[in-house]
Structure 1
């Protein structure tokens, strides 16, 4: 296997935040799911889409926020869009436009590597642009164009999807999320659906953002990129897209690398429980780290940490804290910020510091953590949009009755006592998708065991709170994939984790389809 001496550079990866956004679109309620069509639409119905030419150009005019304006000004990046049908049952109807951004191969291109960074709601264009310095050092970028795409409703893709403005999120006027969404009446669920319909330009745009259609879009992208077979790298939610693509188009897979896998054998409710068990484990480890320092805000004993956390945060239920810029910090904001920090061990000291400051009446540090969850820019733009996250999950996951939703919230409080406040887990909650204008379009389970795939690769990190380690083991078994175990406590390892061991194994696979030996392990 090739080795290399790579200079370390600061990691700019934003997928920990993206993936926690994935965890917020939790359990959807009510109707039984409707299975997707057994077969993709006939190629002849899509011929016009498959034959379109991509007009690659500079990315300066493609940014949708000030952060991307800076990133996309890089002259080494190229942008384009690809048209896809909004409704695949009506290929002659309205079209959506999917935004693409690529780093052209530095050598002779052998194809494209298509990337999804997670979510749902992760913008692949921003991810590739932000990590351009890391790709410059990668041998994969010598032989492959590195291509990020914004799934339907995300980033630069149109039609855009919006339910609440960034200002409404900042003001606490959107549904709050802790263990579940703070929706306790049918009227609130109906308001959410109505706002999303209006903000998306109509029902058709809203109900066609589910993963089934994103996978079909990926096959059109593969074709117009000029690749006979797909090479795909998916983080977190990207594991679902990659596995679903492999099941729908097994003969069109060249390479499938998954980093941080969702367990396909779990129901959404079971997946949420597994996430919260892992998040609690990371918090317990953070508490142990805190108690090694004098005057730890979480107490002198790790066993006291949950009670101390509640002492610091529960007052926010009735009286939000106020940051120096005048913005309020609600109980929902505080938990979003803590969650965001728990997704990488490197951020744990920031959580401890923020809780200490909050206990002293200072809210700016916890507000900064909350802002990192949304990818909030200095201009107040949220670069990670929970509206899209909600919409995708409403079309992907079977829905729960109000009784099931309330019980699910209580169970999350039991397995993760850090969340066990009445405001977060004790209410009569209802599913956020209860009034959605269409039933889910994805079946459960979303992928089934197969032996028809070429060699694929799954990375699973032992201390990953977003996609727990067992999910990677199970998805590898489901796909018949090779498994790389990564010792570490963060979400996302390849390219962004600082491990040459990880990078060299994944590079060898993406370049030459070399899979690691059984039992292979690396560490971050």
Structure 2
């Protein structure tokens, strides 16, 4: 099921994003998806604490006590206020790690966020420290942090692992009143579990809160301005930082951009269209390569996939010893590899097997998306994702009548995934903490030039979002990658990589209309 706007980290990053709750993320590494289950990124500073002129008192920044840790990194903890409006109140911890610059002429710290919300910046930093261009690693300390509510920082907790298994198998495209009620009850139970296990933290994990933490991190690192690279949801975090602290913007790369001006419903529909486009591109690749078991044409492949999902809605396939491969699990298993073209072969094999009656590969892809380990344990990716998204924006729908009214628009935008996205819009309807943000354009007047990167066939953060964000930002410049997959930097385009490196190391902004292929 799609929860929101997250990003998965299969081979690359975490870009969960999906509108109702989130979008993926595995804890590995690059900006590949973490659906960045991504969903509506609308967290405004209004309600979340106001703009720069109304920012709460600045908390004192204690130095980070660095100790050696894995792979030549240094690890430490930053103490920040639970509530930034009460800087002397209770504190929570932010886990941080850095890999010192390897060469001379150091510029400063490059702070990273892989997406989600809910993706681990610690894992992402370890990926970047070996995979990013050598010039960046020579000139910058590579810095990752788990945002509040995430991973090894003070973390949000919700469902126990066995309850999460049951939750992911709920019918996300209910066809009867009983199935509809089961879905609604499941969402309510999820929110109650988060309250029980997370307490006061649940009301203080908005993107505005995380952006204020990031400014304290910047100060603790000793940098007068922020150098930052955010992927997927990380673009929303970076843009929010620029809105709050425009004069402290050094160089910001926002790759796989979200549009902060869109409502949750609008974002969900656009994202559905993005995944539909990615599925069509996958099928074109399959058909063009010959011997595609899904059919001889894109249309034939779409019909076969939709038929499979309809079949699983009525008759799930066997999965592991405790789970069946339902329509919801299969849908997540299909969405997950659409984040990265490198995973299209995995999707072909999974669909081939499912059409022969074996759902195990789709189940594995589902688990990758939800960060469920072989031991049956989940990371807190989805818990954090839901908590952040539900604070950042009002829900896409509040009643089943809203969903039924909007269903035709969702299905028109995405015939394959539209019903799923429509019902996912209820994810925040019964959330125990009211939203503190709302959709609004971000201008960040007075900020230094900001580089926005958009991929033309990005499934999780459609290209139109990058165009919109670059246009909103007073100092925004758009770099276009004409290609497939979620995000563009570090994904094989020398043109994109060169432009990003030149911007970060030399402040060279690409010319207007620059497109890489």
Matched-pair contact (CA < 8 Å) for 1:41–1:89:
no
CA shift in 2, pair 1:460/1:245, >3 Å? same
* Alignment partners' CA distance in 1, 2:149 and 2:247: 28
Residue in structure 1 matching 2:486, options 479, 488, 491 = 491
Deviation (angstroms), 1:154: 0.7
Q: State the TM-score, normalizing by the size of structure 2.
A: 0.86
Match of 1:118 in 2: 115
CA contact (8 A) 2:454 2:463 kept: yes
Q: Distance in 2 between matches of 1:508 and 1:103?
A: 21
User: In the alignment, is residue 149 of structure 1 matched against residue 148 of structure 2?
Assistant: no
Asked whether 1:379 is paired with 2:375, we answer yes
* 8 Å CA contact 1:20, 1:339 repeated in 2: no
TM-superposed CA distance for 1:288, in Å, is 2.7
Residue 14 (structure 1) aligned with residue 13 (structure 2) = yes
RMSD, matched Cα: 2.9
1:33-432 to 2 correspondences below 5 Å? 35-39=47-51, 45-48=57-60, 50=61, 52-59=62-69, 73-74=70-71, 76-108=72-104, 109-135=106-132, 137-158=133-154, 160-172=155-167, 187-200=185-198, 202=199, 204-292=200-288, 296-323=292-319, 327-383=323-379, 385-399=381-395, 400-402=397-399, 403-419=401-417, 424=420, 431-432=426-427
Once the two structures are TM-superposed, the CA of residue 197 in structure 1 deviates from its matched residue by 0.5
2:470 maps to 476
Unmatched tracts of structure 1, length 5 or more: 1-10, 60-72
- Which whole-Å deviations, capped at 9, do the CAs of 1:259-302 have from their partners, x for residues lacking one? 01112332221111111112111212222333346664433332
Q: Aligned residue for 1:3? A: none
Q: Note closer, same or farther for the CA distance 1:250–1:193 as it changes in structure 2 (3 Å cut).
A: same
Tell me if the contact between 2:37 and 2:116 (Cα under 8 Å) persists in the aligned partners. no
Structure-1-length-normalised TM-score: 0.85
Structure 2 stretches lacking a partner, 5+ long = 1-9, 16-23, 26-31
Give me the whole-angstrom Cα distance separating, in 2, the residues matched to 1:228 and 1:28: 28
Q: Aligned in 2, Cα 1:262/1:176: closer, same or farther, shift over 3 Å?
A: farther
1:65 is matched with none
Structure 2 contact 36–231 (Cα < 8 Å) conserved: no
1:522 aligns with 2:513: no
Aligned partner of 2:6 in structure 1 is none
In the TM superposition, residue 336 of structure 1 has moved relative to its aligned partner by: 0.7
How far residue 176 of structure 1 moved from its aligned partner, in angstroms, is 6.0
Deviates more, 1:81-90 or 1:369-378: 369-378
In structure 2, C-alpha distance between the alignment counterparts of 1:430 and 1:507, rounded to whole Å: 38
Alpha-carbon distance in 2 for matches of 1:149, 1:458: 22
Instruction: Tell me, in whole angstroms, the C-alpha distance in 2 between the residues paired with 1:256 and 1:185.
Output: 40
Matched pairs, number: 485
Q: CA, structure 1 residues 12+22, in 2 after alignment: closer, same or farther (shift >3 Å)?
A: closer
Change (3 A) 1:121 1:177: farther
Aligned-partner SS, 2:68 = coil
